[in-house]
Amino acid sequence: MSLDASQLNQQRKDDHVKLALGQQKEAKAAPFDDIRFVHHSFSLMSLDQVNITSHWAGHSHVMPFYINGMTGGSKFTKQFNEKLGMVAAETGLAMASGSVSAALKDPSLSDTFRIIREVNPHGFVMANLGAHHSLENAKRAVDLLQADALQIHLNVPQEIVMPEGDRDFSNWADNIQAIVAHVGVPVIVKEVGFGMSRETMLFLKSLGVQTIDISGRGGTNFVRIENDRNPSLDFSALAGWGQTTPESLLEAQAILGDGTVTLLASGGIRQPFDILKALALGASAVGLSGKFLASVDDLGIDATVEMVYQWRDTLKQMMLMLEAPTVAALQTKDMILSGSLLEWAQLRGID
Ligand code: FNR
């Protein structure tokens, strides 16, 4: 029996979740281990002075981390959106849907995304679309979820590795410019796990983009996911393509100076210590996808909510240890880079 285009799309969404869950079980290289804080023996403050509120996309968020864009578009993935949405509603975490492109093509799939808003009517919800979409589609995506912001993803390597992927990216810049100017909600332009260069970020800034999620290498790997979906492909040589999240954060130093762009970081975040380091390197907040997917799958909703509160408490304690009452204060702390991250900084002329 051959599947129609909508069924193929739904199968692809299911495969993405299953393969991403598989990747979470693997031991990985940990690019954040190349970052250390300098320890100082005084912290002349108390825990109740630590405030982890973070400000981005026109909103104050109670936590400096969020559930990043993943899924929807099939019955199987709707269950994940429901669970993740319930975690977001309970904890106050911001949450993004996966690309709503499937629902724009086949409206019978809309409920697989809308569930995120149904279970979390008052939370901060982001819709998600690829950069090949027009302003009109961007407005439809925001309407679908009654979204507070829109994520636009950049995923050239993923498209290239997919036999059915796009081969024409020539309208991306024009689309982004029009969407940022006219969609009516804050726009976050994000990668999908390949990281960003300073050249990319400067270009996004020139298009009027004010919030960028560098989403780097080190966690979920979409070259490998697409490669594993299709046994006749061999793009495994590209498995290490792209900048790690710490490398991308160093690249971002070029755009942070004048305060016009807010930086978000994601990709391979495993624990609160990684969040702390990404915030210290300039991110206003940190996104997690694979980790939350695996958590609701393995542990369920209640234990994931508990994990979020533990992470919040751990972050506050580590900020106390570093004498950092706010995320902004954390960004002034002394850090030491080593290994391949230091090499990257030297080769790219980043102080
Ligand atoms: C993703 N990601 C993603 N990103 C996006 O902008 N639109 C999307 O539709 C998807 N789909 C998707 C599905 C699944 C199952 C996963 C795990 C991830 C990418 C995601 O937002 C993030 O950029 C990367 O996953 C890197 O972060 P982690 O997973 O290492 O925390």
Residue range 313-350, pLDDT digits in tens: 999 999 999 999 999 999 999 999 999 999 999 999 99
Supply the DSSP symbol for 244. Answer: B
CA distance 213 to 287: 8
Rounded mean pLDDT, 64-72: 98
The residue whose CA is least distant from atom 25 of ligand 1 is 220
Inform me whether the pLDDT recorded for 151 exceeds 90.
yes
Chain-centroid distance, C-alpha 295 = 16
More confident site: 2 or 296:
296
Q: What is the mean pLDDT of the chain?
A: 97
- The stretches of the chain forming alpha helices (DSSP H) are 5-24, 75-91, 101-105, 111-118, 135-145, 156-161, 172-182, 198-206, 222-229, 245-251, 253-256, 272-280, 290-298, 301-321, 327-330, 339-347
| Structure tokens, 45 | 């403050």
Inform me whether the pLDDT recorded for 211 exceeds 70.
yes
* Separation of CA 192 and ligand 1 centre (Å): 6
CA distance 214 to 327: 18
Inform me whether the pLDDT recorded for 129 exceeds 90.
yes
CA distance 115 to 291: 21
Other beta carbons within 10 angstroms of residue 285's beta carbon come to 27
Atom of ligand 1 nearest to the CA of 218: 30
pLDDT in tens, 241-252: 999 999 999 999
Band (2; pLDDT cuts 50, 70, 90): confident
More confident site: 58 or 6:
58
Band (167; pLDDT cuts 50, 70, 90): very high
pLDDT of residue 231: 81
The residue whose CA is least distant from atom 11 of ligand 1 is 70
pLDDT in tens, 112-122: 999 999 999 99
pLDDT above 90 coverage of the chain, percent: 94
Q: Which residues contact 68 (CB under 8 A, 6 or more apart)?
A: 96, 190, 213, 215, 266, 287, 288, 289, 292
Inform me whether the pLDDT recorded for 1 exceeds 80.
no
| Structure tokens, 24 | 């979470």
The residue whose CA is least distant from atom 17 of ligand 1 is 290
Ligand 1 pocket mutation, candidates 220, 226, 229, criterion most atoms within 8 A of CB:
220
pLDDT in tens, 72-103: 999 999 999 999 999 999 999 999 999 999 99
pLDDT above 70 coverage of the chain, percent: 100
Inform me whether the pLDDT recorded for 31 exceeds 70.
yes
CA distance 89 to 83: 10
Atom of ligand 1 nearest to the CA of 153: 6
CA distance 105 to 110: 10
The residue whose CA is least distant from atom 8 of ligand 1 is 98
Residues with beta carbon inside 6 Å of ligand 1?
16-17, 20, 68-71, 98-99, 128, 151, 153, 190, 192-193, 215, 219-220, 266-269, 288-291, 293
Supply the DSSP symbol for 65. Answer: E
- Collapsing DSSP to helix, strand or coil, 250 comes out as helix
